[in-house]
């Protein structure tokens, strides 16, 4: 095992150390060249992806910092104390990448993806190497709570397989949301593993409160009706003013916050289109390869989630949920986190968008219901995060010794509880029993959700007036055809 870990570090460390953007430039360029894309075009796509990642990170940092400052002032004005410092996702990514086991888990998941493709169990080529840290975090937490490496690896592989399966069934929804039929972009990002839980509540609304949708509002339609007053600019201004008032800011600070939010929402839309442009050379290369070598088999390209960033619902819901999460954190039993760095709930709102398809009222209500899961998970792993930060030399210098750190909206909160139960279950039979029951519920819920997504995708295919293809996309249209097994998709004529 040590030799495998050493090999993983030798292969990936030089690339990882370059940072997310250069790393993705190299990976996308190399993969495109492997599919016989001209080098200049492959490099162009890789550079565009690196630019998009850098741009989206900068805007996220700007927005998060602005809201974090407002929340800090709110805390100062009320005197409310919660003991765990919320750093947001970026420092936790740095901390996780500081562990050599993260590269080991990366190597394992690369092999898993290749095996699944060869065995025709997925059509997704996962190129989002950087975000493996979310899954690695689960494995590392499992080890912290008491599991040996091989047990943690089994958990990582199990969840990783489900993530890849999920990427296949989500792709038709992504195409619809970005209005790009046939586009191969999808994602294996951990935030979408909240989809099954969100689907339960979404089905509840379908069954018992369908009339709620009559009062829903859509950012795009609102923009068409009222022009600028329904634009992303305006939505940002409204929400910035709301949060500023909550923090008891002065007029100047409220205006700054409002205009910052307005700019960020508009830039998210612009940068989101860069991801689509970046993947075009690889998309064409994959299409050509599939036609020549795999009888037209269509592959999906697993990217980071921000290619959906152009949807205003993500950010509108996140900004509405920000003060809600703050209020919940103040009264939630068992919570030790005050939302600051993770106040913009990026770990939740993309999943809400996919499952509800942008129904804002559902996104906000369901988000309000499930946010406590994130707060509890962040509180649960705080001792682990703090210890790991100290071990890899990434503990924030501005904090006092003994201060716990974590993230309020880190992706994969349910998986953190699985890691806790399995880690403790390695030495405690009662915890092991709880883990088995929790894992069974987790798996069965995912399979139910997957079948619902298959059915929804098939219905959309029929509504579009397109004949069912002979070869079915993995996990997408099998249910409607009476086939629950996997397959592949041929692009409709």
Comparing C-alpha atoms, which of 192, 64, 195, 84 is closest to residue 135? 192
pLDDT > 80? residue 441: yes
pLDDT > 70? residue 490: no
Q: Rounded to an integer, what distance in angstroms lies between the CA atom of residue 46 and that of residue 52? A: 10
Looking at every residue in the chain, the average pLDDT score rounds to 81
Share of the chain above pLDDT 90, in %: 32
Mean pLDDT of 323-339: 88
Three-state secondary structure call for residue 289: helix
DSSP state of 39: H
pLDDT > 80? residue 386: yes
Look at residue 203 in the predicted model and tell me its pLDDT.
95
pLDDT > 70? residue 220: no
Q: Which range is most confident: 72-76, 139-143, 297-301?
A: 139-143
**12 confidence band (pLDDT: 50, 70, 90):** low
Q: Rounded to an integer, what distance in angstroms lies between the CA atom of residue 283 and that of residue 39? A: 14
Distances (CA, A) of 87 to 17, 39, 339: 21, 40, 9
Question: Which position has the higher pLDDT, 6 or 106?
Answer: 106
Least confident of 13-27, 180-194, 251-265, 420-434: 13-27
Least confident of 21-35, 129-143, 262-276, 351-365: 262-276
Q: Rounded to an integer, what distance in angstroms lies between the CA atom of residue 252 and that of residue 249? A: 8
pLDDT > 80? residue 301: yes
**473 confidence band (pLDDT: 50, 70, 90):** very low
Q: Tokens 């979310």 correspond to what residue?
A: 134
Mean pLDDT of 248-257: 87
Mean pLDDT of 50-56: 82
Distances (CA, A) of 9 to 107, 120, 171, 323: 9, 29, 32, 41
Look at residue 260 in the predicted model and tell me its pLDDT.
87
Chain segment 262-272, per-residue pLDDT in tens: 888 778 767 76
Report whether 152 contacts 136 (CB < 8 A): no
Side-chain half-sphere CA neighbours of 161 within 13 A: 12
Look at residue 191 in the predicted model and tell me its pLDDT.
93
Mean pLDDT of 179-199: 90
Tell me what percent of the chain is helix, strand and coil, each rounded to the nearest 5: 70, 5, 25
Q: Rounded to an integer, what distance in angstroms lies between the CA atom of residue 317 and that of residue 314? A: 6
pLDDT > 80? residue 52: yes
Look at residue 472 in the predicted model and tell me its pLDDT.
38
């Amino acid at each position: 095992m040590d030799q495998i870990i050493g090999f993983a570090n030798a292969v990936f460390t030089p690339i990882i150390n370059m940072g997310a953007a250069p790393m993705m430039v190299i990976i996308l360029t190399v993969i495109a060249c492997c599919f016989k894309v001209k080098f200049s075009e492959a490099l162009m796509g890789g550079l565009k992806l690196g630019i998009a990642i850098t741009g989206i990170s900068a805007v996220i940092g700007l927005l998060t910092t602005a809201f974090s400052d407002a929340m800090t002032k709110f805390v100062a004005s009320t005197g409310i104390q919660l003991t765990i410092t919320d750093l947001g996702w970026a420092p936790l990514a740095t901390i996780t990448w500081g562990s050599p086991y993260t590269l080991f888990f990366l190597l394992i998941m690369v092999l898993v993806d290749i095996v699944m493709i060869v065995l025709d169990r997925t059509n997704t080529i996962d190129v989002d190497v950087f975000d493996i840290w979310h899954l690695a975090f689960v494995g590392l937490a499992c080890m912290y709570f008491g599991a040996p490496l091989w047990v943690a690896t089994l958990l990582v592989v199990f969840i990783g397989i489900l993530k890849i399966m999920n990427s296949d069934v989500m792709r038709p929804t992504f195409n619809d949301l970005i209005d790009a039929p046939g586009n191969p972009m999808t994602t294996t990002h951990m935030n979408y593993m909240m989809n099954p839980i969100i689907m339960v509540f979404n089905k509840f609304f379908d069954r018992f409160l369908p009339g709620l949708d009559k009062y829903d509002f859509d950012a795009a339609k609102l923009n068409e009706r009222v022009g600028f007053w329904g634009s992303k600019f305006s939505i940002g201004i409204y929400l910035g003013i709301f949060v500023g008032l909550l923090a008891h800011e002065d007029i100047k600070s409220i205006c700054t916050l409002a205009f910052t939010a307005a700019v960020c929402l508009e830039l998210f839309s612009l940068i989101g289109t860069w991801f689509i442009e970046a993947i075009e050379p690889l998309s064409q290369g994959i299409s050509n390869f599939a036609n020549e070598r795999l009888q037209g088999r269509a592959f999906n390209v697993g990217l980071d989630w921000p290619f959906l960033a152009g949807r205003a619902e993500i950010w509108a819901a996140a900004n509405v949920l920000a003060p809600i999460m703050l209020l919940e954190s103040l009264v939630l039993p068992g919570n030790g986190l005050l939302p600051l760095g993770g106040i913009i709930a990026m770990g939740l709102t993309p999943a809400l968008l996919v499952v509800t398809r942008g129904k804002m009222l559902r996104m906000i209500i369901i988000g309000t219901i499930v946010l406590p899961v994130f707060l509890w998970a962040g509180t649960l792993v705080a001792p682990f995060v703090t210890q790991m930060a100290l071990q890899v030399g990434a503990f924030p210098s501005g904090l006092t010794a003994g201060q716990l750190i974590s993230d309020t909206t880190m992706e994969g909160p349910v998986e953190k509880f699985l890691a806790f139960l399995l880690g403790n279950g390695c030495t405690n039979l009662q915890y092991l029993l709880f883990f088995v029951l929790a894992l069974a519920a987790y798996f069965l819920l995912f399979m139910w959700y997957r079948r619902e997504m298959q059915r929804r995708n098939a219905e959309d295919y029929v509504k579009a007036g397109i004949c069912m293809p002979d070869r079915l996309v993995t996990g997408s249209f099998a249910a409607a055809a009476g086939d629950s097994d996997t397959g592949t998709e041929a692009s409709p004529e």
